[in-house]
Every structure is written in C-alpha cells, then in structure tokens.
Amino acid sequence: MLRLLAAATVLLGLVVPGAAAEPQTVSVQLVRSIAQAPYYIAVDKGYFADEGIKLQSGVVRSALDAIAPLATGQLDVGMGAATAGFFNAAHQAFDLRVVASLGVQGPVLATQPLIRKALWDNGTVRSAKDFRGRKVAINAPGDVTVYLLSLMAKKYGMTLKDMNVVTLGFAEQLVAFKNGAIDAGFLPEPLSTTAQLAGTVMLDKADAGIGEGTITTFVFFGTKFMHDRPAVALAFLRALVRGARDAQGAYLKDPAIAASIAQQTGLKVDAVEQSTPYAIDPNLDIAKFEPALRRQEAFHREEGTIHYKGELSFKKVIDTSLVRKAAASLK
C-alpha cells in the first residue's frame, strides 16, 4: 500500500498544472557600466526570473578577463568591449561567440573623454590637442578606450606615442583624477558623471562625439553554454531583449530604471539620472554593427596588438541566430 501511495504521489507531481521547474543557473561576468542597462533592467523587472533563470553574476575590469573562462566552459555569459585579446582569441578558435549588441556610442560619447578639472580651469588642457606629453589613462591595453583615444590623436595629427599613455582601471582613474595623478582619461557612464559631480573632471567637449556609432559593449556566450543548453541560452537573450526594449529614448530619466541601475552598480541615483545614455538597439541585433567591429579590428592590426594576418572570419565569431529568434518570439 505504501508503495502504491508513493507512486501515486510521484505521478500527481508530474501532472499538476503549473508545477514549477527547477531554475536554471547562468553564470555572468560584466563590466560595471550603464552600457549593460538592458541587463540591469531585466534583472530588476524579473525578466530572467520569468524565463526560469537564476543568475550567478560577478564584475570584471575588462571583457578580456572573461575570455578564458568563457572558452573553457567555466563561464556562460560575458559582457564588455571587444578587445584586441578577443580578436586574437577568436582567431585561435577559442570556444566563444559574440551573440548580441549592447551599448553604442551616441553623439556625445557615453565612454567619456575627460580632462582633470584643474587643467581645464587654468586653460592648460581644453581638448586632445593639448594631450601631447600628458599622462592619459586607458582602461586596458587593446580595449575600446585605446581605440577612442587613437581617433582623438589622429584628429590632431598625433599618434598614441605622442602621449604618456598609462593603464588604469576605471575605479583607479576616479582616484587618480582626484589626486592629480593623471591629466586625462576615459570613464564609462555613470562613473563619468560621478566624477564630474565630484568636481574632479571636465568633459572634453571638443572631442566628445568623435566615436559616434562605435559599439562599446557586446554579449559573449561560451559555445559550451550555447551547445549544451540552447533553450536556456535563448531564454537568457529573450529576457535581455525585453530589457533592451525598455532602454529606449531618455531611459535614464525614468526614476525606477535609474534607481535599479544605481542599486546594482553601487552608484548614486543622481549620477545615473544625469548620465549620457548609451544607444541600445531594441532587438540587440549584432549584425548591423559588424562594420564598426571591423574598424576596431583594423585599428588593432595597425597598432600591432593583433597577432594574425588578414581579416577575421566573422562567420566563425558572430552568431546572430539566437538573438534574432529571441526578438522574433517577443513580437
């Protein structure tokens, strides 16, 4: 009798309508920036929970730090810029793919070129034209801040060799600006607005739009994650696209969105609300940004930070199928 009751209980559990499935854990590493606004919005609004996804998240300094764990299957999802290290890893057939777009630079860069306020106030430095011989910080070798700085140098007939380029993480740059240890650098929003509100930096207005249209942030999937758990990978992107569709227009002025981003990044609400927003494609379609990605590859080749000849075959690197399927399923 006990066996019959146990069997009946099991069967009843299988047929109860709405029985909750076990949440699927997805590991994520990202750079702290509003370039990932769709992710923060999706977390706050429960879009991942709606898809039955439990997030295991962490913060990294650069997307480069996520490449190895993505390629070895220790990490499912990474978010950040396409560095020279990414191009080299992709050429070596590392097991990862670019699957979606995130933050794109608008008419005023959201990864902002900044000048130490004391130098601005006394008129010593007013644009990248005055960076010659100055200590200018980048976030990491081969990342998007190097690319943007190179565009600024070229505008004034210089190269990066004409400046004293130093590598400092974004958090370190905040301190370095305050202490007068650097003359210029780049901070992504909302860190840029945080520094401006603190009175330590000024926006380099003359060069603030030089990288318009440059895609700053991508979504990377480990191929093990895509191949072993395709339904979960699709569900993750469906939640992210929902977040992207909420990140349109002046989305940082929405008090609820600003508050949720501030809470998740540990930054002040007023800094988020006053930040220059990244442009977000509502469908996170990565294909339309391939030309911009190709320009970055060409730059890294010229700088000698790419260790292969010719162009990378994007067919082996970019996979648009999942994000397009996710977007189509939400129409």
pLDDT in tens, 19-29: 356 889 999 98
Confidence of residue 312 (pLDDT cuts 50, 70, 90): confident
Joined tokens for residue 74: 């220790």
pLDDT of residue 62 exceeding 70, the answer is no
| pLDDT score recorded for residue 305 | 86
Taking residues 193-221, what's their average pLDDT? 93
Q: Which CATH number fits domain 25-104+215-329: 3.40.190.80, 3.30.420.10, 3.40.640.10, 3.40.190.10?
A: 3.40.190.10
What string of DSSP letters covers 116-140? EHHHHHTTS-SSGGG-TTSEEEESS
Asked whether this chain's domains 25-104+215-329 and 111-207 adopt the same fold, the reply is yes
**Average pLDDT of the residues of the chain:** 88
- Mean pLDDT over residues 79-83, rounded? 81
Average pLDDT over residues 56-60: 84
pLDDT value, residue 10: 40
Neighbour tally for 96: CB within 10 Å: 29
Q: Which pLDDT score is estimated for 33?
A: 82
Assign 143 a pLDDT band (cuts: 50, 70, 90): confident
pLDDT, position 20: 52
Q: What confidence score (pLDDT) does residue 319 get?
A: 92
Higher pLDDT, 72 or 40: 40
Residue 304 is predicted with a pLDDT of 85
3-state secondary structure of 27: strand
d(CA 216, CA 149): 14
- Reply yes or no on whether the pLDDT at 18 is more than 50: no
Q: What is the dihedral of CA 184, 186, 189, 192, to 10 degrees?
A: -10
Q: Which strand ranges, in their side-by-side order, compose the sheet holding 77-80?
A: 53-59, 24-30, 77-80, 218-222, 96-101
pLDDT confidence band for 187 (50 / 70 / 90): very high
- CATH for 111-207, among 3.40.190.10, 2.40.100.10, 3.40.640.10, 3.40.50.2300? 3.40.190.10
pLDDT score, position 5:
41
pLDDT at 239 over 60: yes
Residue 22 backbone dihedrals phi, psi, to 5 degrees: -65, 130
Give percent of the chain above pLDDT 90: 63
Domain boundaries, the chain: 25-104+215-329, 111-207
